[in-house]
Amino acid sequence: MGEFPTVTDVARVAGVSRQTVSNVMNTPGIVKADTRARVEAAITALGYRPHASARRLRTRRSSTIGIRLDPMIDGISGSVLDRFLHALTEQADARGLRVLLFTATSPEDEIDQFRRLNDGADVDGFVLTSTTADDPRTAWLLEHDIAFVTFGRPWQENDFTDPSHLWVDVDGHAGLYAATRAQQDAGARRIAYIGWPSPSGTGDDRRRGWHEAMLERGDVSAEELARLEVITTDGVDQGAAAMRQLARTAGGIDAVLCASDALALGAMIANPARVSVTGYDNTPIAAAIGLSSVDQPVDEVAAGVLELLTGEFEGQVSHAPDSASPRYRMVTPRLVTRQFEAIPRDSVPANALVDEVSR
Amino acid sequence: MGEFPTVTDVARVAGVSRQTVSNVMNTPGIVKADTRARVEAAITALGYRPHASARRLRTRRSSTIGIRLDPMIDGISGSVLDRFLHALTEQADARGLRVLLFTATSPEDEIDQFRRLNDGADVDGFVLTSTTADDPRTAWLLEHDIAFVTFGRPWQENDFTDPSHLWVDVDGHAGLYAATRAQQDAGARRIAYIGWPSPSGTGDDRRRGWHEAMLERGDVSAEELARLEVITTDGVDQGAAAMRQLARTAGGIDAVLCASDALALGAMIANPARVSVTGYDNTPIAAAIGLSSVDQPVDEVAAGVLELLTGEFEGQVSHAPDSASPRYRMVTPRLVTRQFEAIPRDSVPANALVDEVSR
DNA sequence: AGAAAAAGTTTGATCGATCAAATAATACCG
DNA sequence: CGGTATTATTTGATCGATCAAACTTTTTCT
């Protein structure tokens, strides 16, 4: 293989100047049709590909977005972000954008990476996941006029309406509201909830969805409702423990909703009565076990993120509040209903089959 | 915020020339100690960061590796590659490398991406996953002298020894051999295997591990061994079906090994006798359910991949077969033993607890 | 038809770094 | 001490593209 052709080579072959070749690629509208055709022919004839770094050096644009990838937290919780990453990569590709990964050990370290990647024109903007209240990263990015969009709304009062902070989030409230309604429509009255300790932006949001739906129907009194709720940290074991606690203290329950699939799996395991269990995130586990779950539509989230981010690229990086389009996207999750296929209700008690197997 | 400082700015402040600044960063050894100190002081004082694109344009190096990210195949199987991606990103970062993601709809499309990314100096090399026999991608990359390492050995006879094809793989044979031995040491004799249809590079490899370990012990005759094996495609339902088939046709069994966690989960579900089940890949599911599983050490794989890939960068891209270091890495997996914690052996039969719950 | 406006195209400069070669400073040695 | 090696530093050119402004051609309008 010889050397790579450059704009100059293409220009020579097409009998035009460098700049015209450049125009054909970037602003084809201003090039006369037949000239453009000639240049395009030369491009394909030579197999020309623009040198991305040279372009970046000049334009200070990279068509690349950066996203931090955490060391895998061994498990279930990471899965949504992975799905999001896949969706983001795919949709970014469709828009001619690339995704660059990096890691960071702390918010400060991450800010350092922001600076490095931004100064080096490696990326045009960032996608942040798992934002916290009072996040130092968003403050820094805003201060330095660097484009970014967060997956997750800002959980602070004043930030929520801040027009310069773009975000996309999934409406956990709506998700649990729908899940509760679905159970109620199926005849359930006493619907329990296993959730995370407050304050937790996402956790509180989900809990409210259940709580409001329950109050609206009025099937149970407010004080009974309190007994139908168990607060615990995330995890399979915790879910099982919570379920056992419900069995002890809540009286009969018709269904259980959980703040996560991990909790739901635990609940399901400690669930000899085969009460309907609904999780959150629709992880592979939910699919495998046959657990209903609230699915976060990561495709829509990714689309929203890119929409906001590229909107930011195009226009100047102005934080103009007069912008007509909204500065955020709230995505409604989808309830995925499953029957307990995996551990069938009519499964024979443990030791009944031993003989048959070893017959 | 002002503009970004450049080498020239640093040079001016330090009272040296551009090139000396460059040398401090790239070949510090040739700069006199006190000059170097002065330059370094200027760098930190100005907060200078090299412009990555400018450097790339000149050096034709990007310090970035490309890897294709497939649209999520909804589920369990993707998880190992995700874990690998996390490990790769983390270790690449430690070596000053970045990871660039892209997608492709077909091998041809992927080759097109290779060309684009390579010509544009976007990446220095590629990491390929899920290689097939007679892979057009590896052939193309070899032909165009582009550095790459595959996660997965070449499954063709002649490719295996090809010194120009660098690869890292996990020794599935050793994994199943160890898993079989572990069961045998625990007293099991009749150990069944649920695997994938042949030909499948990875599948056949794993199966052989079990097969050989069984033959070596000689606890069962060769013809009995054949009845202890079920071949099926991957999936939870298929695993359950295979398990039921074993119960019907194999006679009593002491343990089951599976080619994947999906199969293992299925086997576990259709496993009223609570026979020990071992999966493969140590996915979150295995952890959640309490399934033993063969764990692919993705950290070691990532380390090996980067070692081979950077070795390739450093020296010329020569395919010199005289290279002393081996052209591949075979990583031994780790057996993770778990008790069925999740669905405890002594769990009370389904309807026994109903009364207690609704007491 | 002729001047002014618009459209199309070209030329020189530039982005920020490194390479290659030239120069300056220092060390070495008989 | 003079002269050659060696080390340290500097200068000019260059990577491949786009920007800004100059220039040429075509269109529009009176």
Residue B331 pLDDT > 50: yes
Give the pLDDT score at B350.
30
Of B76, B269, B350, the CB nearest to A342: B269
Q: Is pLDDT of A333 > 90?
A: yes
Instruction: Round to whole Å and give the CA distance between A136 and A113.
Output: 14
Among B49, B288, B349, beta carbon nearest to A120: B49
- Tell me how far apart the alpha carbons of residues B45 and B41 are, in angstroms, rounded to a whole number: 6
- Band of pLDDT at residue B284, cut at 50, 70 and 90: confident
pLDDT classification of A190: cutoffs 50, 70, 90: very high
> Which pLDDT belongs to residue A57?
93
Q: Nearest Cα to B81, choosing from B147, B136, B128, B135?
A: B128
Out of B100, B285, B343, closest to residue A98 by CB: B100
| Cβ pair A103:B90 closer than 8 A | yes
Q: How confident is the model at residue A63 (pLDDT cuts 50, 70, 90)?
A: confident
Of B32 and B155, the structure prediction assigns the larger pLDDT to: B32
Closest nt by CA–C1' to B57: D15
In this prediction, residue A160 carries a pLDDT of 55
Starting at the edge strand that comes first in sequence, how are the strands of the sheet with A191-195 ordered? Answer: A229-231, A191-195, A255-258, A276-280, A292-295, A334-336
pLDDT per residue over B40-66, tens digit each? 999 999 999 999 899 999 998 888 999
In angstroms, what separates the C-alpha of A269 from chain B's closest C-alpha?
Answer: 6
Residue B128 is predicted with a pLDDT of 95
Interface test with A, best of B7, B53, B57 (most A CBs within 10 A): B53
Which band of pLDDT confidence, cut at 50, 70 and 90, is reported for residue B235?
A: confident
A98 touches chain B (CB under 8 A): yes
Higher pLDDT, B222 or A11: A11
Check CB contact of B69 with chain A, cutoff 8 Å. yes
- pLDDT of residue B197 exceeding 80: yes
SS (H, E, C) chain A: CCCCCCHHHHHHHHCCCHHHHHHHHHCHHHCCHHHHHHHHHHHHHHCCCCCHHHHHHHHCCCCEEEEECCCCCCCCCHHHHHHHHHHHHHHHHHCCCEEEEECCCCHHHHHHHHHHHHHCCCCCEEEEECCCCCCHHHHHHHHCCCEEEEECCCCCHHHHCCCCCEEEEECHHHHHHHHHHHHHHCCCCCEEEEECCCCCHHHHHHHHHHHHHHHHHCCCCHHHHHHCEEECCCCHHHHHHHHHHHHHHCCCCCEEEECCHHHHHHHHHCCCCCCEEEEECCCHHHHHHCCEEEECCHHHHHHHHHHHHHHHHHCCCCCCCCCCCCCEEEECCEEECCCCCCCCCCCCCHHHCHHHHCC
Residues 158-177 of chain A with CB under 8 A from chain B are none
CA A182-A269-A248 angle, to 5 degrees, is: 80
Confidence (pLDDT) at B34: 92
Distance from C-alpha of A34 to C-alpha of A334, rounded to nearest angstrom: 51
Say whether residue A89 is in contact with chain B using an 8 A CB cutoff. yes
Extents of the domains making up chain B? 7-50, 64-170+298-333, 173-295+337-345
What top-level class would CATH report for the domain B173-295+337-345?
A: alpha beta
Confidence of residue A357 (pLDDT cuts 50, 70, 90): very low
For the CA of B33 and the C1' of D2, the distance in angstroms is 30
Q: Enter the CATH code of domain B7-50.
A: 1.10.260.40
Question: Strand C contacts (CB < 7 A) among A residues 37-96?
Answer: 54, 57-58
Question: Using the CB atom, is residue A22 less than 7 Å from strand D?
Answer: yes
Q: Is the pLDDT of residue B341 over 50?
A: no
Check CB contact of B1 with chain A, cutoff 8 Å. yes
pLDDT at B268: 87
Query: What is the token pair recorded at B102?
Result: 């892209």
- Is pLDDT above 50 for A355? no
Please report the sign of the dihedral spanned by the C-alpha atoms of residue B304, residue B305, residue B309, residue B314.
Answer: negative
Distance A60 CA to D23 C1' (A): 28
Q: Which of residues 309-348 of A touch B (CB under 8 A)?
A: 342-343, 345, 347-348
CA A48 to chain centre: 37
Neighbours of A115 (CB within 10 A): 16
- Facing A101 at nearest CB: one of B52, B98, B273: B98
Q: What is the DSSP letter of B74?
A: S
Note the CA–C1' distance, A17 to D15, in angstroms.
19
| Both structure tokens of A80 | 């949504």
Q: What is the mean pLDDT of chain A?
A: 84
Mean pLDDT of B97-122: 88
The residue with greater pLDDT, A171 or B318, is: A171
How many percent of chain B have pLDDT more than 70?
Answer: 86
Amino acid in the structure at residue B230? V
Which residues sit opposite B67 in a β-bridge? B101, B127
pLDDT-derived band at A2, boundaries 50, 70, 90: low
Does B352 reach chain A within 8 Å, measured CB to CB? yes
CB contact under 8 A, B100 and A101: yes
Does the distance separating the beta carbons of A251 and B358 come in below 8 Å?
Answer: yes
Nearest CA in chain B to A270: B343
Which chain B residues are closer than 8 Å to A251 by Cβ?
Answer: 358-359
In chain A, residues with a C-beta closer than 8 Å to the C-beta of B71 are 86-87, 90
Cα-Cα end-to-end distance for chain A: 69
Report CB contact under 8 Å: B272, A352: yes
Q: How far apart are the C-alpha atoms of A167 and A149, rounded to whole Å?
A: 5
Residue of B nearest to A241 (CA): B342
Range name among A65-79, B246-260, B323-337 with the lowest pLDDT average: A65-79
pLDDT digits (tens, 9 = 90+) for B149-194: 999 988 776 555 566 789 999 999 999 999 999 999 999 999 999 9
Tokens of B154: 């070449």
Please tell me the distance in Å from B75's CA to the nearest CA on chain A: 5
Report CB contact under 8 Å: B120, A51. yes
Task: Give the DSSP letter of residue B95.
Answer: T
Residues of A in contact with B53 (CB under 8 A): 53-54, 56-57, 62, 120-122
Residues 6+ apart with CB under 8 A from A197: A203, A231, A232, A233
| Packing angle of the helix pair A7-14, A33-46 (nearest 10 deg) | 120
Whether residue A314 is predicted with pLDDT greater than 70 in this model: the reply is no
Q: How many CB atoms lie within 10 A of CB A355?
A: 10
Question: What pLDDT is stored for residue A301 in this prediction?
Answer: 96
Provide the pLDDT for residue A122: 86
User: Smallest CA–CA separation between B89 and chain A, in Å?
Assistant: 6
Cβ-contact B351, A348 below 8 angstroms: no
On the question of pLDDT at A120 being above 90, the answer is no
Ranges A157-161, B286-290, B319-323, most confident: B286-290
Q: How far apart are CA B59 and CA B51, in angstroms?
A: 12
The architecture that CATH gives domain A64-169+298-330 is 3-Layer(aba) Sandwich (3.40)
CATH match of A173-296+337-344 with 3.20.20.60: no
Q: Is the pLDDT of residue B76 over 80?
A: no
Task: Note which residues in 43-62 of chain A have CB less than 8 A from chain B.
Answer: 49-54, 56-57, 62
Does domain B64-170+298-333 fall into CATH 3.30.930.10? no
Question: What phi and psi values does residue A261 have, to the nearest 5 degrees?
Answer: -70, -30
Closest residue, chain B, to A114 (C-alpha): B49
Q: Is the CB of B18 under 7 A from strand D?
A: yes
Give residue A162's pLDDT band: very low, low, confident or very high (50, 70, 90).
low
Q: How far is A73 from chain B (nearest CA, A)?
A: 10
Query: Closest nucleotide to A58's CA, by C1' atom?
Result: C15
Q: Tell me if domain A64-169+298-330 and domain A173-296+337-344 are identical in fold.
A: yes
Beta-carbon separation of A89 and B101 below 8 A: yes
The pLDDT tens digits for A213-242 are 999 998 888 888 999 999 999 988 899 999
Contact criterion met (CB below 8 Å) for B243 and B272: no
- Give the distance from residue A281's alpha carbon to the nearest chain B alpha carbon, in angstroms: 13
CA pair distance A86, B67, nearest whole angstrom? 12
Residue B183, SS3 per DSSP: helix
> Which candidate in A63, A88, A103, A115 is best for mutational testing of the B interface (most B CBs within 10 A)?
A103
Would you say the C-beta of A6 is within 7 Å of strand C? no
In whole angstroms, what is the distance from residue A102 CA to residue B253 CA?
Answer: 48
Q: How far is the CA of A29 from the C1' of D30 (A)?
A: 30
